[in-house]
Chain A
Amino acid sequence: MNRLYLLLALVVSANCHAHYIPTDDGLVVNASLAATWSSSSVVDEYDYWQIPGTLMGGHAWPREEGVQIDELTLGLGYRFQERAFAVVELGSHAADEDHENEIELQHAYLGYVCCDTTGPWVIEIGQMTAAFSPGLAEHSADRMVSDAPLINDVFFGRDFHDKGIRLWWHETAGFSAGAELWRGDAFPATASGDNAWDLFGRYQWQTGGLSGSFGGWIYRSSASSRADHRYGGSHQHTPVAPPGTTASVFPDVRFTGDTDVYGVHGELGYRMAPDWRLGVKTEVMWAEIDGLVHDASSRQASVQGDQWGGWVQPYMGWQEHTFGVRGDWLSTDNQLVGAAAPVLAVDSGLANEKGHDPERVTVFWHWQWHPSLALRTEVIQDNTLPDEDLRWLFGVVWKDQLSPGSGSSGGHPH
């Protein structure tokens, strides 16, 4: 079955919009806002979202009941020279009640395009989103569904912004390939570990009504005393819960070691008629974890993990409406060895006594009601935790180019 998923990933491909090179239109300003109402929360108040068998972190916050701002971004791109450009993006992502959405600098990088005869080659340096995985670079406003893929949450803490340098061969006859070197601020790396890096390549084509792309990548990282910064990593105290409610302090277990992730992705689209289209998108990732889990009490255990998962999203479009389903799955195989292994397995989240297989199915209807405004409805059967949950989501997505004005092609998406 694994080979089937791999084959599927190789024959279809994905696109992405989160990273772009400004064209020569001068200053380009983009903005987006995605807000979603959910009928229920993934976890109760005073609980932590920890998928059994995984080491989570980054910004992988659980969906909460009620209205949530999934994303708010303001991006500026400027081609200040024929071959040089700059991109700045401010944004915030959904957090939880105790961790308000903080505006952060997601992009601040300079780029240079050269070597037209063999390329073009593009070099970019600064704070950037990774380009190796198109799905990882997508914001909520770019997706048909509001939630990030499960593998993004587990393997990369939902999104990936880091300081680094990227050199890539850019869309030459449909091919792109490149390498990125990262400082290591983004989960699953830490800046105190060795540098993280990745290699990627992809190909995209279009023939008549058929279009597609596929690609693959390798990402390698190391971490030193990496915390789950969603809930831990700093001064820890027992949350003050109202009488009758149980609240426990988050176990601040750290990970030191290597995490290597490999992925393939793809998208296949077919326009059957002017108003009808079919397609499928997918990404599959494998993660190898090798290191130690440890805590402040000097307890430690070695951990080796082989985890893999993915998502597949078949969809059908009619005029401005898109109907589809996304299936997410994850499979984990971990081994902890050491005197403290039983305790640390539980505290770190790696314990999986019941052999739980995290799964999630999202059925969606996305309506691009206006060129810059979309509405989406989702039904999610969420089995990421042993306690199943089914919830409804209603969301609104606004995405527009504020300058030089809607409709202008101010950027070149990848």
Chain B
Amino acid sequence: MATPTQWCFPLLKVNSLRYRLNRNSARVRVCALALLLPWASGCLDQSSTRVDDQGARVSSYDWGLPDSIPLPRVPEDNPMTEEKFQLGRHLFYDARLSANGTISCSSCHQQDKAFTDGKVHALGASGQPHPRNSQALVNVAWNNILTWGNPSLGTIEKQIMVPLYGDDPIEHGLNEANHEQVLRSLQAEPVYPPLFAEAFPDQDDPLYSDQAWDNIVKALASFVRGLVSFDSDYDRGELSASALRGEKLFNSERLECFHCHAGYNFTDATVDRLTSVNQLQFHNTGLYNIDGLGAYPEPNTGRHEVTGNPAHMGQFRAQNLRNVALTAPYNHDGSVATLEEVIRNYAAGGRVLTSPPNAGDGRMNPYKDGFITSFEISDQEIQDVIAFLESLTDRNFITNPRFSNPWTQDSEQD
């Protein structure tokens, strides 16, 4: 703590001025200058900056985050609790939560693949393929939009209704006709009543009341929201020489990757407690141009599917790149097999398909994002960028018992 005299007008401190040529030379005292300024006897108020974050770093739930990561936003009607997280974990891995008992959330979202499935297209409970590639569930809590191209799905709770009840395509296959039967199968499982009771202590009968499905959705959302990954080599600053070169390329003016894959989650579709405006960003990366006018193949036209706006053709959300090395194949339809192929598409300024059914020059797509311009890149540089992307892999995340299947014997049973 400074003494009062240390805060006095600087000329009083001239007596102790130290002359340092080139910072290291001899020290000489300069005296008597204060005598020139008899009025310089007072003291200034000490400068200060007060900061009030209005409780933005306060949460009763232990997110296990590094200090540098802000807390995510959580819906007021579904605050995070450990009990809901654990209930959601059981539901996430429970195939009874589908029309015919064949599909659970984990069917398409597998922990060892950063909660994606490694397939081009997943199959739903009825065997119908999904037109989109399964998304990784990594730090979903920070996503401002939850799907590849739907700007209206802003919360995990809303999004979960799509795979559960959606009919085009059918995923879990729930509907008006079967959802009571599915609920009864869950009620019959002896593990659930205490889990529901702990997760929703304010309700008398959370598994049997009219709120049961609402509770299921909230619990699932809590588990998905709690899938947190910030423990990669990158986070620990343990990058190889190649990965360091790749990081510089990633952030370079030449490649421009970082514009869309920005911030701590490497996506511009990020929102947290510190952000005040929810900016929805979608990008056309020149993957298709099947009619020469910019069209993407149906039904995967991205944001355009929802808005109908021609300018939104082929626009999709920039993906979170954490654990991206585990989530092949890539792009919204899984049509790109490897990270190298992804980079080469960007280097070309778009993808050229010469054979049907989707032949076209994506480089000429009129709706292409302005950052998708061609660039020169060597084979070694591609490997460096891949090394950087691989450094974003969080091994603890894909092996953490906390996120694993609770119905197996070797899982963590809290």
Contacts and interface: CB of A to CB of B under 8 A. Distances in A.
B10 A332 contact: no
A379 B19 contact: yes
Contact of A238 (B42, B251, B271): B251
B14 interface: yes
A357 B10 CA distance: 10
B10 A359 contact: yes
Given A298-B278, A339-B56, A343-B70, A327 B51 contact: no
B56 A361 contact: no
Interface string B230-274: 000000000000000000100111000000000100000011011
Interface residues of B, number: 50
Contact of A345 (B51, B54, B56, B251): B51
A356 B43 CA distance: 14
A79 to B, nearest CB: 43
A331 B45 contact: yes
Nearest to A51: B47
Given A297-B263, A335-B52, A336-B51, A327 B9 contact: yes
Contacts of A345: 49, 51
B47 A356 contact: yes
Contacts of B306: none
A351 B49 contact: yes
B158 interface: no
Interface stretch (B30-38, B167-175, B309-317): B30-38
Interface in A217-272: 235, 237-238, 240
A358 B9 CA distance: 10
B377 interface: no
Interface stretch (B20-28, B201-209, B321-329): B20-28
A341 B53 contact: yes
Nearest to A351: B49
A355 B53 contact: no
Contact of A335 (B40, B49, B271): B49
A127 interface: no
B51 A341 contact: yes
A383 B18 CA distance: 12
Given A314-B37, A341-B51, A390-B17, A329 B56 contact: no
Q: Which of B19, B30, B48, B277 has the most CB of A within 10 A?
A: B48
Nearest to B276: A300
B78 interface: no
Nearest to B57: A342
Nearest to A296: B262
Contacts of A352: 47-49
B39 interface: yes
A408 B56 CA distance: 66
Interface string A278-319: 000000000000000010011110000000000010100000
A356 B53 CA distance: 22
Contacts of A343: 70, 274
B413 interface: no
Nearest to A292: B276
A237 B259 CA distance: 10
Given A357-B46, A381-B17, A327 B37 contact: yes
A333 B39 contact: no
A76 B96 CA distance: 87
A363 interface: yes
Given A298-B276, A340-B274, A237 B251 contact: yes
A325 B36 CA distance: 9
A53 interface: yes
A350 interface: yes
Nearest to A343: B274
Contact of B49 (A298, A334, A360): A334
A383 B10 contact: yes
A332 B49 CA distance: 8
B59 interface: no
A351 B50 CA distance: 8
Contacts of B44: 1, 329, 331, 357
Contacts of B192: none
A318 to B, nearest CB: 15
A355 B33 contact: no
Contacts of A240: 248
Given A240-B248, A298-B276, A357 B47 contact: yes
B47 A331 contact: yes
Contacts of B213: none
A368 interface: no
Interface in A78-100: none
A39 B22 contact: yes
Contacts of B276: 294, 298-300, 338-340
A4 interface: yes
B142 to A, nearest CB: 11
B123 interface: no
Given A350-B49, A352-B49, A338 B14 contact: no
A35 interface: no
A240 B244 CA distance: 12
A36 B256 CA distance: 40
Contacts of B54: 337-339, 341
A176 B347 CA distance: 64
Contacts of B19: 379, 390, 392
Nearest to B18: A390
B200 interface: no
Contacts of B251: 237-238
A62 to B, nearest CB: 15
Contacts of B211: none
A333 B10 contact: no
A8 interface: yes
Contacts of B70: 340, 343
Contact of A329 (B9, B22, B52, B278): B9
Nearest to B277: A298
A40 interface: yes
A390 to B, nearest CB: 5
A71 B386 CA distance: 48
Contacts of A312: 37
B40 A327 contact: yes
A53 to B, nearest CB: 5
B186 interface: no
A195 to B, nearest CB: 27
B10 A381 contact: yes
B195 interface: no
A179 B273 CA distance: 45
Contact of A4 (B42, B273, B275): B42
15 contacts: A1-B44, A4-B39, A39-B22, A238-B251, A297-B274, A312-B37, A327-B9, A332-B48, A339-B53, A340-B276, A342-B57, A359-B13, A361-B33, A379-B30, A381-B13
Interface of B: 2, 7, 9-11, 13-14, 17-23, 30, 33, 36-37, 39-40, 42-54, 56-57, 70, 248, 251-253, 263, 270-271, 273-279
Q: Which 3 A-B pairs have the closest CB atoms?
A: A1-B42, A339-B56, A359-B10
